[in-house]
Amino acid sequence: MNVISTRQLTKRYGRTVALRNLNLEVHAGEVYGLLGPNGAGKTTTLRLLIDVIRPTSGSITLFGEPMSPRLRGRIGYLPGDLVLYDRLTGADYLRFCGAMRSHTDLGEAVRLAKRLDLDLDREAGELSKGNRQKLGIVQAFGHRPDLVVLDEPASGLDPLAQREFHAYLREYVDGGGTVLFSSHVLSEVEQVADRVGILLAGSLVVQDTVASLKANAVRELTFTFAEDVSAASFSGIPGVRDAVQASGTEVRCRVSGAVGELVRAAARFPLVNVTSHEPDLEDIFVHYTEERGDDD
Amino acid sequence: MTTELVTKSVRDNRGSTLGWGIALVASVALQLAVFPAVRDAAGEFEKLLESYPESFKALFNVRQSLASGVGYLQGEVFGFLAPLVLLGIAIGQASRATAGEEKAHTLDLLLANPVSRTRVLLDKALAVLASVAVVTVVFALVLLVGNGVVGLGVPWPDMVMAVVASAVVALPFGALALLTGALTGRPGLAVAVPVGLGLLTYLLDALSSLSDGLRPWRVLSPFHHAAVNDALTGSPNWLGLVGLVVLTAAGVAGAAVAFERREVRA
């Protein structure tokens, strides 16, 4: 079942298109990472979903329904630009949220705060950026929502808190929850997301599982030969995007998809060594960014 | 009603309510304390006032002799001080209701709660109303006590009605602040619009007694319909007061519609 589903979702500000025909589907029980550089439309997407801004065109359904006040009780939200009420302590703030959400049991929130090592007795205004972010995370999960929407959740967190938070995300999803989060940090998305959508300049350029993205990614193969071999011998082989002469006996190729054809071609020469660089999301990300750049 | 949100908003407004309230009580107490001296020196004051231009007297609501309790209250308390404070509270707090949260960037999280935007706006409006009510009650009590102590000789029901009328005239301006804030998300503008209109309509009402040209226009002034002076002399303008309450309700309803459609700035 789709917990989040958008159809041709578009948001314009005057002549600027912040988001263009977004068809986003987030399935129940998955962690979906929305990846993109600053200004790509990640925050716009999340704020449209939460209904603090309205689409220019297109539609959104959550749990198969249009957004309503009642539905918001099933959703936790962490804004990217997190500002809390300075004069409320963490505990006061959680009590306020609990009352607003008719969920007065603070057990889950207190447990998570403890795991993140957050002191709930201090006023939000006195907290460091990292601790404020922790409180933001705690309030998003405190009422045990079915879906959480998190805008750059790891920003400001120290590595230890980040690890604890990622572990918690996994447990939350294993317990039946669904997560949509945005990030411009590739390693984070790679670590925690089941599926990834890459957003560039307001358009979703790709949406796939992390594993499948990697399988189809551009990887780099470096061949070392016993004698000089021209890089030109490898251009034109299916899948090869470019071949560079690293030295007389060394050729570096970038290839997308299966590498069989390329390896067969290389084997016709006296091959000494092959090294392959495992692609990470960064390569994928850079690849799509470059491709977009070529179009313009 | 979301008790928690109303309570929190009242608490957030506490400083403003206390500040304005103390200013009002202290000023009224001071004004009342000097009343016996003014009454005793009435002859001198009359001569002084006679030399003032009519427009000046109209502006400061000097209509009767300052030596009479009613005249003194009209000139010194209800003419300028009471509307200043009560409009100050209503406009100040209503302007921050939603626009303040939007400017502070706390509105996203507040609206992510399972309550409708209309509910949020009405709860915040209720909190403003509570502040106005508290200050109104304290204002009335100070006047009633002062009435007895310094012998103003104003019947207490008239005193209470004048205080109520002073509070009611502040309400539509608070509603306008709420509406401007809900439409624009700018607390500064939500202060400026009702303050500007407040000044304009105050002057219109005050000066309309001097100019035949202005007189027909005074129906546009909420101060004309509140008729605090008439309330103080025992003939409140009930229809006018009800009209102001209806106008306030319409303003709040408009603010709710605007807020439901508002694109919250990131």
In this predicted model, what pLDDT tens digit does every residue of A11-35 receive, in sequence order?
Answer: 999 999 999 999 999 999 999 999 9
Min Cα separation B26/chain A (Å): 29
Residue A36's identity, in one-letter code, is G
Residue A294: pLDDT band (50, 70, 90) is: low
Q: Output the pLDDT for position B167.
A: 97
Q: Output the pLDDT for position A199.
A: 92
What residues contact A159, with CB distance under 8 A and at least 6 apart?
Answer: none
A84-98, A233-247, B243-257, range with the lowest pLDDT? A233-247
Residue A113 host element (H or E): helix A107-115
Residue A136's identity, in one-letter code, is G
**Chain B, nearest residue to A139 by Cα:** B109
Residue B224 has pLDDT above 60, yes or no: yes
Please tell me the distance from the alpha carbon of residue B175 to that of residue B158, in angstroms, as a whole number. Answer: 26
**Is B113 within 8 Å of A71 when comparing Cβ atoms?**
no
Q: Output the pLDDT for position A12.
A: 96
Q: What is the mean pLDDT of residues A216-242?
A: 88
Average pLDDT of chain A is 91
**Is B105 within 8 Å of A83 when comparing Cβ atoms?**
yes
What residues contact B245, with CB distance under 8 A and at least 6 apart?
Answer: B168, B171
What residues contact B210, with CB distance under 8 A and at least 6 apart?
Answer: B54, B55, B58
Q: Output the pLDDT for position A37.
A: 84
- CATH superfamily of the domain spanning A2-209: P-loop containing nucleotide triphosphate hydrolases (3.40.50.300)
Residue B196 has pLDDT above 80, yes or no: yes
Q: What is the mean pLDDT of residues B158-169?
A: 97
Comparing B31 with B41, the larger pLDDT belongs to: B31
Please tell me the distance from the alpha carbon of residue B37 to that of residue B147, in angstroms, as a whole number. Answer: 15
Residue A213 has pLDDT above 50, yes or no: yes
Using alpha carbons only, give the angle A227, A230, A236 rounded to the nearest 5 degrees.
135
In chain A, domain spans: 2-209, 218-278
Q: Output the pLDDT for position A293.
A: 60
Average pLDDT of chain B is 93
Q: Output the pLDDT for position A220.
A: 86
Q: Output the pLDDT for position B220.
A: 95
Q: What is the mean pLDDT of residues A195-200?
A: 92
Q: Which long-range contacts (CB under 8 A, 24 or more apart) does A138-141 make?
A: A138/A90, A138/A94, A138/A109, A138/A112, A138/A113, A139/A76, A139/A78, A139/A93, A139/A94, A139/A97, A139/A109, A139/B109, A140/A76, A140/A77, A140/A78, A141/A76, A141/A108, A141/A109, A141/A112, A141/A168, A141/A172
Please tell me the distance from the alpha carbon of residue A159 to that of residue A77, in angstroms, as a whole number. Answer: 22
**Of B180, B178, B173, B176, the residue nearest B222 (C-alpha):** B173
**Chain B, nearest residue to A96 by Cα:** B4
Q: Percent of chain B beyond pLDDT 70?
A: 100
Q: Output the pLDDT for position A292.
A: 67
**Of B167, B194, B164, B201, the residue nearest B179 (C-alpha):** B194
Residue A280 has pLDDT above 70, yes or no: no
**Of A254, A256, A255, the residue nearest A244 (C-alpha):** A254
Please tell me the distance from the alpha carbon of residue B169 to that of residue B172, in angstroms, as a whole number. Answer: 7
Strand partners, A244: A252
Choose among A43, A77, A100: nearest Cβ to B115: A100
**Is A50 within 8 Å of B2 when comparing Cβ atoms?**
no
**Is A81 within 8 Å of B105 when comparing Cβ atoms?**
yes
Q: Percent of chain B beyond pLDDT 90?
A: 77
**Of B35, B30, B188, B175, the residue nearest B102 (C-alpha):** B188
Residue B120 has pLDDT above 60, yes or no: yes
Min Cα separation A71/chain B (Å): 7
Q: Output the pLDDT for position A296.
A: 44
**Chain A, nearest residue to B261 by Cα:** A54
Structural tokens at position B143: 């006047």
**Is A70 within 8 Å of B104 when comparing Cβ atoms?**
no
Pick the CATH number of A218-278 from 3.30.1490.20, 3.30.70.1560, 3.40.190.290, 3.30.930.10: 3.30.70.1560
Choose among A73, A80, A96: nearest Cβ to B4: A96
Choose among B119, B261, B266: nearest Cβ to A47: B266
Please tell me the distance from the alpha carbon of residue A190 to that of residue A33, in angstroms, as a whole number. Answer: 8
A130-139, A248-257, B42-51, range with the lowest pLDDT? B42-51
Model's pTM, two decimal places?
Answer: 0.88
A19-23, A217-221, A236-240, range with the lowest pLDDT? A217-221
Q: Percent of chain A beyond pLDDT 90?
A: 74
A65-74, A83-92, B53-62, B94-103, range with the lowest pLDDT? B53-62
Put the strands of the sheet holding A250-256 in their side by side order. A240-247, A250-256, A218-225, A271-277
Q: Output the pLDDT for position B230.
A: 93
